Chains A and B, each alone.
Chain A
Amino acid sequence: MESSDRLFRFPKPQWMNSANTRSGGVYVAGALFSIALFVLIDAATFSKSHLNGSDFHMNFVDWIPGIFSALGMLVINSIDKSRLSADNFSYSGDGVAWKARVVLFMGFAAMAGGLAGAVTVMVLKYVVPEASWPALWFGVANVVANAMVMLSSVVLWVSQNMEDDYTYNLAL
């Protein structure tokens, strides 16, 4: 079973299947999401504080990409991963995998749109009007936060797929 239907040349390292790595991955995902949120909050607080001498301020527009990214992450990670291959089994209902793929696609689109929107906000609101460094941080923080949300989602996805392998190993 190990060597016959393997696709890649190098085997998956053994520690990837342990329960500790899996729960650690979930913790790391939470930590990354927290960093993302606090980078955004830092930019907003800095915009209101007396250190910001410029005319640039964060308003609701700067939060929209973050909201979309978080929404996409929520959608992606609330899908049951085993439903993605549900059409291979005859006993599952009609089109479950298709529905799951549609919802998953919407989640990925929301997340990619969030990242793209962050870059758009940075370019249109801060780079084109030539903001200098402390004000440029609002745009950079937006991109960093959305990238962190994406990274957090990837880590969560990988550790959830690890779980499947682990239970599979337990079952056999």
Chain B
Amino acid sequence: MAGLKTIIVLSFILAIGFLLVILSSALFKNYLTLLVVATYVIAPIPNWICGKAQNQDDFMDSGTSSIVELGRFMTGFLVVMGVALPAVFAHCDLIRIEAMVMSIIGGLLIYGTIISFTMFFHEQEEF
């Protein structure tokens, strides 16, 4: 598989994302935007935990069980939280608009990298 190129590109994107977020906080001496990174790192965890919980209990059930849907709900919640948090900070003048833009873009890059990585590894597991 074209694995190596993908890994290199994804790590570059991850580094750019972290660069943007750290720059957005360090440039303005205001470290609230680092919460975006924490949010996006937490975001895939509910899906993962609930997926494990489903595997244990009812793998005979063909439909999706409700605990998986709870995990999806919380993931959607956390993803939007990563965008909404800087917007709230900027609207209430806790951080500046430039910092908001940089941290949102950086956070989306970080989350996109995490998602691409998990999809990539899932594909590898299946085949």
Contacts and interface: CB of A to CB of B under 8 A. Distances in A.
Interface of A: 19, 22-23, 26-31, 33-35, 38, 41-42, 45-46, 48-51, 156, 160, 163, 166-167, 170-171
Contact of A41 (B63, B72, B74, B88): B88
Contacts, number: 76
5 contacts: A30-B72, A30-B79, A31-B79, A38-B81, A166-B63
Looking at A23, A31, A42, A51, the one whose CB has the most chain B CB atoms below 10 A away is: A31
Given A29-B73, A31-B79, 13 more contacts: A19-B64, A23-B69, A26-B73, A28-B76, A30-B72, A30-B76, A30-B80, A42-B84, A49-B93, A49-B94, A50-B93, A167-B62, A171-B62
Contact of A23 (B64, B77, B87, B93): B64
Contact of B75 (A22, A30, A42, A166): A30
Interface of B: 62-64, 69, 72-81, 84-85, 87-88, 91-94
The majority secondary structure among interface residues of chain B is helix
Highest count of chain A CB atoms <10 Å: which of B77, B79, B84: B77
B76 A27 contact: yes
A166 to B, nearest CB: 7
B76 A38 contact: no
B35 to A, nearest CB: 13
A26 B91 contact: no
A65 B3 CA distance: 51
Would you list the 5 A-B pairs with minimal beta carbon distance, nearest first? Answer: A30-B76, A38-B84, A34-B80, A27-B76, A167-B63
A26 B94 CA distance: 32
A82 to B, nearest CB: 11
Contacts of A49: 92-94
Contact of A31 (B63, B76, B91, B94): B76
A156 B73 CA distance: 9
Contacts of B91: 42, 45-46
A166 B69 CA distance: 15
Given A23-B72, A30-B77, A35 B93 contact: no
A26 B76 contact: yes
A45 B64 contact: no
A22 B84 contact: no
B84 A163 contact: no
A41 B64 CA distance: 33
Determine which residue in A38, A41, A171 has the highest number of CB atoms from chain B within 10 A of its CB, and name it: A38
A35 B76 contact: no
